[in-house]
């Protein structure tokens, strides 16, 4: 089975606000498994449904997994929301949907996240450091926000220009 493609900036679907999931269906379970497969294959530590073209509030995160063969301990979170934020930190972020750039982003140092798991149970997670950053990054995707929307206008504009040139070159070569 072919893995779903990760949408890349400037795909307009990445800017859409996702709709809440009302019912956990077999389709939602299959989408979550697809997302895990894509996340581990890329490899990444988080993925939001909009990144595979699905405008629903579903994220997968595994900040403990580091490499092929390492133990996997993913969170599959439906309708996640941050209900508490504490502190500030600056973290260097990258994104599977925003290739060829990493940038420092200011985030909350710790968060409390509420969501529903695939079994339909309510979960509450207290996260800090990398896990807190990852949750904030993925929830941003659900709201149509990319991490480059949180960096300086100058850095973002430079990236956008470079990305447009890259895409033009790829089109010319095709």
Contact call for residues 33 and 25 (beta carbons, < 8 A)? no
Residue 81 a catalytic site member: no
| pLDDT the model gives residue 67 | 64
| pLDDT the model gives residue 68 | 63
Q: pLDDT in tens for each of the 174 residues of the chain?
A: 568 999 999 999 999 999 999 999 999 999 999 999 999 999 899 999 999 999 999 999 999 876 666 778 899 999 999 999 999 999 999 999 999 999 999 999 999 999 999 999 999 999 999 999 999 999 999 999 999 999 999 999 999 999 999 999 999 998
Token duo for residue 50 = 């909009």
109 lies in some domain: yes
133 lies in some domain: yes
| pLDDT the model gives residue 64 | 83
Cβ-based neighbours of 147, under 8 Å, separated by 6 or more:
93, 94, 95, 98, 103, 105, 137, 140
DSSP 64: S
40 lies in some domain: yes
Token duo for residue 121 = 């149970």
Token duo for residue 19 = 């709709």
For 154-169, b where at least 16 C-beta lie within 10 A, e where not — what string?
eebeebeeebeeeeee
Domain limits for position 73:
12-173
6 lies in some domain: no
Q: Count structural domains, the chain.
A: 1
Token duo for residue 161 = 């220009």
CATH at 78 = 3.90.45.10
Q: Pick the closest to residue 127 from 63, 44, 79, 71 (CA basis).
A: 63
41 lies in some domain: yes
Of the candidates 42, 84, 119, 138, the residue annotated as catalytic is: 138
4 lies in some domain: no
Contact call for residues 57 and 138 (beta carbons, < 8 A)? no
Contact call for residues 107 and 91 (beta carbons, < 8 A)? yes
80 lies in some domain: yes
* Distance, CA of 21 to CA of 65 (rounded, Å): 27
* Distance, CA of 152 to CA of 155 (rounded, Å): 5
33 lies in some domain: yes
């Amino acid at each position: 089975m072919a893995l779903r493609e990760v949408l890349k900036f400037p795909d307009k679907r990445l800017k859409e606000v996702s709709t809440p999931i009302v019912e956990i269906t077999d389709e939602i379970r299959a989408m979550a498994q697809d997302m895990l497969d894509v996340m581990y294959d890329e490899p990444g530590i988080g993925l939001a449904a909009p990144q595979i073209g699905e405008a629903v509030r579903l994220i997968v995160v595994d900040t403990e997994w580091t490499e092929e063969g390492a133990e996997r301990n993913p969170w599959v979170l439906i309708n996640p929301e941050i209900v508490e934020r504490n502190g500030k930190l600056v973290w260097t972020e990258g994104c599977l949907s925003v290739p060829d750039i990493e940038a420092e982003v200011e985030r909350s140092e710790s968060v409390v996240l509420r969501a529903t798991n695939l079994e339909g149970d309510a979960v509450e997670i207290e996260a800090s450091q990398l896990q807190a950053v990852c949750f904030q990054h993925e929830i941003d995707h659900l709201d149509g926000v990319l991490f480059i929307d949180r960096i300086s206008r100058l850095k973002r504009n430079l990236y956008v220009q470079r990305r447009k040139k890259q895409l033009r070159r790829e089109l010319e070569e095709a």
